[in-house]
């Protein structure tokens, strides 16, 4: 029976199962993502990420959420993808270019004395702020937009970092104290709201100061996660647009901290840069049926 090698990694607790598809790859990655992501019956993760060859970049990241849905981009996942590709010799470059479903992203690895990558800075590109391009069911910039959630008027600011986000600013710690079940119910109301034609990731953000934001996040397709890199970027962009933060800030998530900068001047002005950890948890292998693998290509 063939085996599939994997590496479990996380960035600020946002964990994925990584598979390097040099010789073969899962034939049905969506169903495999559902099976392996289960935290009781599988390995346990927020999803599955494949490292594949790329004609446009140094490595291609193909990502599946825990429910099997395909995702365009993951800020925490791309840092771990770059570290794994570099350390395993798949793409021995620094910085390196990662091809994603949201385009090409440049990742600069921070190496320790032994040449191991412990953290990375990602050029996430410029945020998408036009409503139909995010997409949401409104035109122009969607800033502090009143949205009806089960009869409650909630202001959201919509941002895409290659995937859609709804940022909700809160005034106190109440949302952070919600039990998991209640927070899940709240997150699903946003995720499946008809205002978001491709569903949405939702960030609940408390501005602690001009350079510090606290965030709790609900990710479409995965549920609550300990961190969301694209969500942290969207939170900072939304905070700047609404006058709640400066262009460089620390975003505090349940799994740690991310440093986010929305560059104003100089080279690559308008781009968002994210810096955070990339941690290997363990390596392993699983047995699969022969029909569950297909040649990489």
Listed by start position, the domains of the chain span 3-124+279-295, 131-270
- Name the residue with tokens 């570099």: 86
- Name the residue with tokens 């199962």: 17
* DSSP 8-state code for residue 55: S
- Output the CATH code of domain 3-124+279-295: 3.10.310.10
Q: Would you say 147 and 153 are in contact if contact means Cβ atoms under 8 Å apart?
A: yes
Superfamily of domain 131-270: Diaminopimelate Epimerase; Chain A, domain 1 (3.10.310.10)
Check for a shared fold between 3-124+279-295 and 131-270.
yes
pLDDT at 236: 98
Name the E strands within the chain.
3-11, 14-20, 24-26, 47-52, 59-65, 70-71, 96-100, 103-111, 117-123, 145-149, 152-160, 164-169, 201-209, 212-219, 223-225, 248-253, 256-262, 272-277, 279-287, 293-295
The encoded tokens of residue 163 equal 């995937």
Mean pLDDT for 154-182 is: 98
Mean pLDDT for 21-38 is: 93
pLDDT at 2: 84
- Tens-place pLDDT, residues 55-88: 999 999 999 999 999 999 999 999 999 999 999 9
Across the chain, mean pLDDT equals 96
- Tens-place pLDDT, residues 137-147: 999 999 999 99
pLDDT at 150: 85
pLDDT at 292: 87
Beta bridge partners of 51: 20, 61
- Beta strands 201-209 and 164-169, pairing class: parallel
Lowest mean pLDDT among 12-16, 22-26, 231-235: 22-26
Alpha-helical segments (H) within 42-167: 75-87
Lowest mean pLDDT among 101-105, 246-250, 289-293: 289-293
Residue 296 has pLDDT above 90, yes or no: no
Residue 52 has pLDDT above 90, yes or no: yes
Residues with a known catalytic role = 74, 228
Q: Give the three-state DSSP class for 187.
A: helix
């Amino acid at each position: 029976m063939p085996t599939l090698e994997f590496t479990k990694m996380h960035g600020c607790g946002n964990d994925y199962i990584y598979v390097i598809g040099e010789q073969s790859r899962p034939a049905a990655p969506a169903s495999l993502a559902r099976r392996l992501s289960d935290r009781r019956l599988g390995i346990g993760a927020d999803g599955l990420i494949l490292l594949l060859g790329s004609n446009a970049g140094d490595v291609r990241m193909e990502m599946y959420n825990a429910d099997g849905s395909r995702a365009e981009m993951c800020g925490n996942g791309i840092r771990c993808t770059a570290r794994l590709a570099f350390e395993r010799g798949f793409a021995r470059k620094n910085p390196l270019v990662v091809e994603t479903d949201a385009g090409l992203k440049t990742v600069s690895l921070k190496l320790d004395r032994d040449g191991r990558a412990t953290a990375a800075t990602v050029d996430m590109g410029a945020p998408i702020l036009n409503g139909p391009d995010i997409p949401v069911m409104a035109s122009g910039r969607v800033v502090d937009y009143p949205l009806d959630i089960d009869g409650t008027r909630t202001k959201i600011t919509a941002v895409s970092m290659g995937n859609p986000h709804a940022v909700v600013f809160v005034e106190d710690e109440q949302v952070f104290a919600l039990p998991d079940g209640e927070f899940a119910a709240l997150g699903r109301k946003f995720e499946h709201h008809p205002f978001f034609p491709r569903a949405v990731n939702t960030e609940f953000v408390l501005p602690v100061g001009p350079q510090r934001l606290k965030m709790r996040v609900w990710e479409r397709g995965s549920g609550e996660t300990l961190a969301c890199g694209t969500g942290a970027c969207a939170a900072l962009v939304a905070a700047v647009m609404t006058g709640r933060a400066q262009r460089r800030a620390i975003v505090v998530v349940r799994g740690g901290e991310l440093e986010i900068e929305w560059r104003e001047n100089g080279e690559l002005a308008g781009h968002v840069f994210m810096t955070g950890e990339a941690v290997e948890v363990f390596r392993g292998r699983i047995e699969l049926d022969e029909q569950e693998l297909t040649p990489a290509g």
